[in-house]
A and B are shown apart, each in its own frame.
Chain A
Amino acid sequence: MELFSEVFGAYYQMVSHLLRICSTREMAREEIQRAAASMGFGESSVYLLPKLMGKDGWPFLEKCPGPPDRWKSRLSRLPKRPLTLLERRWLSAVLTDPRAPLFLSYETLGRLNQALEGVSPLYIQRDFRYFDQYLDGDPYPSASYQKRFRLILSALREGQALEITFQAGAHGGAESPRIHRGVYIPLRLEYSEKDDKFRILCKRLHRGRPAGYATVNLGRVLEASPRPERCTSSAEMELMGKWLEKQKCGQPAEVVVSPERNGVERFLVEFSSYEKESWMEPDTGRCHVKIWYQKSDETEVLIRILGFGPIVQVLGPAPFLRQVKERVRLQTVRLEQTAQVTITAKGQGEGPIQPV
């Protein structure tokens, strides 16, 4: 079994695409060139065109008689590439994933399972242990969660508004959970493997007018029902893209990572999902890294950097550095207080520490 096969390769796809067009109509050289350039790798057309139209190349195309130069396919009924065993086995494996029913109806799932009968799955879920995934992931097996998920996904596809009732997060010290209700147009579904949760990025409507964007955790949605309002997807996506661009941090977090305890490698791998730039101090082996992140992720970035302890030093920007310093200062105070309490309370039991 191989993942790396020429059958799935870019050149085979390009040839297949061109042959399909050339079997219905004749194509000019420039047209073939444009199609090859749009599909392949950066230099593919340089290699591909002599092979397709040269004398000692591949015999797929033939030149039509008379000027101007036009080409047609020698193959008449090229079928789609049949599904390979690799693809079937992969499908068979993902159908056993507890998240599969979120995207497919039970009827489709049943028909797919039937069509894949006897195909052994490419892997088994329990062979993969996600050992640090958060424990409060979304409740995928819940029938009501699945129903809400499919409704939201369908609204996302159709650009339809929904009235959504959801439970707000635990921030802000509210004693009882706050319930929000509003009209939202889902624009994007987001999944985090670490959180094991889905979120939807929505456009909020207030009395039928746009009222900003919001992110709602799907696991917190209590009710959702369709509304008549709709949006045209492409225009909304453009607006959302601009909004998302504004949500990025103004200045990147700048850190210097020491090579101690394999720090550079650990840090760069852990932060590889962020856009970043790095350079190495040649003499010390210390690595300078700039990380760009969404403003809403700032606390997460901050605590993950703190997790590296003294191996990573934050250099800036100033507001970010201030937060780090404040946490380190508080930490120092907490440990000093504990030490004092332990000394003064010897033989009397340990008393609580007052907040700083």
Chain B
Amino acid sequence: MAFQELIKNFDRLRDYMRDFFLYGYKTRGDHPDKSLRTYDNERRRIESYLGRYMRFRTQEGGRGKRVWLSMESAELEHNPFYQAYRSKSFTDNDITLHFFLLDILSGSPPPQAEGWTAGQLADELSRRYGLCFDVQTLRGKLREYESPEKGLCIFKAQRCGKALCYRLAEDQKDLSQLLEEHREELEDFLAFFSETAPFGVAGNYLMERAGLSNPHIRFKHHFLTHALDDNLLLAVTEAIREGELLEITNFGRRQRGQGLGAPVTCTGVPMAVLVSTQTGRRYLALYGDKRKKFHSFRLDYIQSVRRLGPCPPEILEEVRLHGEESLNAAWGSAIAWRPRRERLSMELYIDERREKYILQRLQREGRGGTVQQVGNNRFRYSVEVSDSNELMEWIKTFTGRICKLEGDNRQVVRRFYSDMERMKKLYEGTD
């Protein structure tokens, strides 16, 4: 089949885009699970969408060519990955009907107050433009544009005798007008939220529709690949809101580590989306109804989600009862069902006169831990969490100041001291 620029399914593109952007070290031969032709097509597509960010270099040692996407998020006006959402394929009928139906419904007075029937629209298309469409095809398109299922609702249907009549949805007219009237005010508003709010691509669509740009705002610590998971996330947030059970298909680190390992499925009650603003990872907190425990699944590892309908009320109640406690007890994404608490404390050297900013760091980054002065220029930070291993990356950012680390989890403390010993060896005599 000839190469097509547009695609039907977002998932494959999602994987390749993440590979090119995050990892960047892979060559054509490093995608063993895909055919070379698939790789070439996906690469060509991404180059077509995001060519200005694409970089190529021969692999060190001459083993193939590395292809990667190079971007500095703080300098970007918009998230470039939103382009990928504009690549959905369509048929000739889809695009023809889209524009001609909009043209007829927006201008011509309808034959009856309720609007146009599919048959009348077929006649009008033929009369005015010489286009022949069977009524069944027209009905399908009208239903698609009317129903909330696809999130469009740009047509409204009303029964007129036995037939359904369609007209342009009027309930968004005030809003459309408001967006026009307050363009300047809304430009910055939309520019900001289309990058920072969940499902920001919807805001980006609004901006494009209104012809707005983002001349004023830039975003630091901005994780662009989150946008690639938003399509899947939509079903998750809908399920949270409706109190539904969810089936997720996950291809996590454990499965990936097994070479050609297969994805696993899990069902349960989705609780919340956990977002790390520092590490760039997002998780789905899910109560597994079979194993009766909390799981947190990396969103970028989830391959698909399926809504399974309403969750039994007794499970929902139990999850609501213990969920909050479990989420509050976690330092990060490791959530435990009825969690135990592990104490951890570290003593830091901080020049109390000159280094107040370190004390401020402890306050703002310490997530509820307490800080206590225990000596001259010596402070103790203490916290109780469900899994103290999760703190270790943060603890080690204080390297150079840590005088002592103590905690209930001996393995974690031992690993810290062993890490510090390894750091010493790593940088010893490497001048």
Chain A residues near B (Cβ < 8 Å): 1-13, 15-16, 19, 41-44, 47, 51, 57-60, 74-91, 93-94, 97, 99-100, 103-105, 108, 111-112, 115-116, 122-124, 126-136, 153, 156-157, 169-173, 175, 188-196, 233, 244, 262, 265-266, 268-270, 272-280, 282, 287, 292, 294, 303-304, 306-310, 313, 321, 324-332, 334-335, 337-338, 350-355
Contacts and interface: CB of A to CB of B under 8 A. Distances in A.
B224 A84 contact: no
B159 interface: no
Given A13-B208, A42-B47, A58-B95, A307 B393 contact: yes
Interface in B373-413: 375-378, 392-394, 396-404
B225 interface: yes
Contact of B189 (A15, A93, A104, A294): A104
Given A97-B197, A136-B363, A123 B237 contact: yes
A77 B238 CA distance: 37
B70 A275 contact: yes
B127 interface: no
Given A7-B152, A41-B5, 14 more contacts: A3-B151, A4-B85, A5-B150, A5-B151, A81-B209, A175-B353, A194-B278, A279-B25, A306-B397, A306-B399, A310-B419, A310-B426, A327-B399, A334-B403
Nearest to B227: A3
A113 B338 CA distance: 40
Interface string B113-148: 000000000000000011100000000000000001
Given A13-B208, A94-B203, A81 B102 contact: yes
Contacts of A262: 253
A172 B238 CA distance: 49
Contact of A60 (B10, B99, B360, B403): B99
A352 B378 contact: yes
Contact of A279 (B59, B188, B279): B59
Contacts of A279: 25, 59-60, 66
B308 interface: no
Interface stretch (B31-39, B258-266, B269-277, B312-320): B269-277
B224 A2 contact: no
A25 to B, nearest CB: 18
Interface in B179-212: 179, 182, 184-186, 188-189, 192-193, 196-199, 201-203, 205-206, 208-209
Q: Interface size for chain B: under 10, 10 to 19, 20 to 34, or 35 or more residues?
A: 35 or more
Choose among B23, B59, B331, B351 the residue with the greatest number of A CB atoms under 10 Å from its CB. Answer: B23
27 contacts: A4-B10, A4-B88, A82-B102, A83-B179, A84-B153, A90-B197, A90-B202, A90-B203, A103-B186, A108-B178, A172-B354, A173-B354, A188-B216, A188-B217, A191-B217, A262-B253, A266-B279, A270-B280, A277-B57, A294-B74, A306-B399, A309-B423, A327-B399, A332-B424, A337-B403, A338-B403, A353-B377
Contacts of B66: 279
B107 to A, nearest CB: 4
Contacts of A195: 220-221
A175 B352 CA distance: 10
A337 B402 CA distance: 11
Contact of A313 (B92, B353, B426): B426
The 8 tightest CB contacts between A and B, nearest first, are A352-B375, A173-B354, A327-B400, A86-B151, A90-B202, A310-B422, A103-B189, A85-B153
Given A4-B85, A111-B178, A308-B393, A328 B273 contact: no
Nearest to B356: A170
B49 A309 contact: no
B169 interface: yes
Q: Secondary structure at chain A's binding surface: helix, strand, loop or mixed? A: mixed
B172 to A, nearest CB: 4
B147 to A, nearest CB: 9
A276 B135 CA distance: 55
Given A11-B95, A279-B60, A306-B399, A353 B378 contact: yes
Contacts of B63: 282
Contacts of A287: 25
A104 B186 contact: yes
Choose among A43, A116, A126, A282 the residue with the greatest number of B CB atoms under 10 Å from its CB. Answer: A43
A310 B404 contact: no
A3 B10 CA distance: 10
Interface string B209-232: 100000111111111110000110
A354 B273 CA distance: 45
Contacts of B73: 272-274
Contacts of A131: 274-276, 330-333, 367
B152 A335 contact: no
Contacts of B393: 307-309
A275 B48 contact: no
A132 B276 contact: yes
A306 B396 contact: yes
B208 A308 contact: no
A17 B275 CA distance: 38
Choose among A84, A173, A306 the residue with the greatest number of B CB atoms under 10 Å from its CB. Answer: A84
B240 interface: yes
B106 interface: yes
A324 B153 CA distance: 57
Contacts of A171: 357
Contact of A82 (B6, B129, B172): B172
A151 B90 CA distance: 46
Nearest to A116: B175
Nearest to A287: B25
B61 interface: yes
B21 interface: yes
Contact of B397 (A5, A91, A130, A304): A304
Contacts of B151: 1-3, 5, 84-86, 89
Nearest to A172: B354
A132 B276 CA distance: 6
